Structure 1
Amino acid sequence: MQPVLVFCLFVTFWNLSSCSRSGIYIDNGLDQTAMERAMTRDEKKEMELEILSLLGLPKRPRKISKSPLKRSAPRFLLDIYKTLMEQDNDENNRAKRNTEVYLSGEEQHQIHESDVIMTFESSNDHVPSVRHERGKRLWFNVSDVPVAEDVVGAELRIFKSSGKGNKNPGIIYTVTAYQLIKTVNGEKELEYISAANITAGFVGWMSLNLTQCLVTWVAFPNSNKGIYLSVHPLDKPGHEIRPEDIGLITVKAEDEQQPFMVAFLKAVNSVKPRVTREARTKKDTFNGVMTGYSKIDMDNRQDLRRSCRIETLYINFKDLSWTDWIIAPEGYPAFYCAGECNFPLNAHMNATNHAIVQTLVHLMNPQRFPKPCCAPTKLNPISVLYYLDDQNVILKKYKKMVVKSCGCH
């Protein structure tokens, strides 16, 4: 009886502290998933480090103690994540959305242009006193923003309730954001950043452009003294009132109404996976799994030739015990390309003209000229939403991560 050809490869891990073993699981050809072999503790650790490096993280973020999706910032980024997923799954119907957040045209443009989206919750720390008394001061810790990345945009998102004493819902108020700065003599002053008009009867999220602030704070961290919010009636510019009087939620809010800043960033340099001496020596084990080309029992399957095609490779974040800091997705559907590029190269093999010529030359002199290789012809990005710490949440896009099609090259 000939051995059954393996069409799917799954990589899963179990916590080594439990009774279950970590291992490489494959489809045994009988619609069953069976362990091919157990992974050692060092192999599992190396795998985790490689994936973290691929995600651009020097180490695993610590466990998040608070409830994941009750706060406003993670909920906002989760809605953006859902939007990106719907665009990937339904490219012909971009208007179809099941998210709860409204995104303006400018925000959609910033999402499209950015590789990293970060949120920062407001804090009362490091807020200096100013000569104004009726406005509200907010401060955001943006020290985790990489200096090497370009700032596409940044905005303050703040929730407005119905407010108290607003008898006329048609009254228009101007909400202005100022950057707190220091003058030469050491006195604290305000620098205008942006403003937006809002009616007394409006209920929902409003935003203010803070791009100028973030660019300055990233370039000069010591200049981050926070922002100052000022509110006044549109027809009375000199009459400043408290933000709370019109319903703006600035402090002591419910989790889902906490103000936060969101930053849209574009990566200048792509992340390069770390390569260790130990990893380079494991050609038939660890690296073989990561590249998706398994040599399991290849000696017994040499007579079984198959055409170049896409195969399944899935890494489950739950099995890595990462679900406490990764919000979405549940795993990484990498896929991979495997199979032979034999003559004749059929249309479904997506062969290049060069591959066709190389195949003919190989037939004439197989010892000198190799056959074309089965490789990805289309790679899609993947978005990962995760906590950096208890206050900061990141949505990062990783380019060329998911194999969509294969061909002979």
Structure 2
Amino acid sequence: MGCKIQLEKLFHPSIHPSIHPFSSTCPLPGRGGSCWSCTSPLWLLLQVVGPQKDGLMLVLLDMQSVPAGQEGWLAFDVTSAANHWLLHPRSNLGIRLYVETEEDRSLSAGWIGLVGRRGPRSKQPFMVTFFRESQVPCRPPRAVKPRPRRRKPKPDLPMPSIHRFVCHMHHQCLIKSMKRLFSSFQDWVLAPTGYSAYYCDGECFYPLGSCMNATNHALIQQVVHLLKPNEVPKACCAPTKLSPISVLFYDDNNNVILKKHRNMVVKSCGCL
């Protein structure tokens, strides 16, 4: 399952359960009149609210680091919480999104541009769930007798490891440097002598976060791939934005021509 949150200028979440919010405008109020730097990355921690004897407790569900200037949907995996809520509906007290800087300073989600329930309808957080059809008839919850607990119960919502998210950053879909020289076309290309074309390379990991600049189609394809890996391939890392270059060259009549060639330089990459 996934939860999505929208970033208006800073970030955007994705699918699985997923969440949506974001937009960051500097400066932001800080301690002693200081401002938070929009160039600093932020940590977003998604926590589930649960009951306990002396009040409420917060359990970490998912987390991700979002660089400044990013815009789009943010995807968080809330499968463990959703499964727990299906078995224990009364334990569903909601989800809390906590924002923190690298200096351990907490920030308001609204300050950094996360879109909440009062934002545009098209950018409000939402959850996506997928269910498998079971051939075995299920008994209603009331017919299930609780078993006595002999051992100390383990937490229903395990704490995710931060290393699971950091390791993906080294292999995710990114734009990479590639230079193309016109040395083999010197007899007709006058300028430029070459240019930086760039290319896209990397994996589209599930769930697709905002850093992967994924389309909605890619999000759905990635989910279907998990269900039917032999029928549907994973989303691919490909250019999402291209720009032109101008080339000065001789035509067939030996005239000097300046022409703008479209889609020659990769500007950004994403999962498609």
TM bucket, shorter chain: 0.3 to 0.5
Q: Which entry has the higher C-alpha Rg, 1 or 2? A: 1
Q: TM-score, normalised by structure 2?
A: 0.40
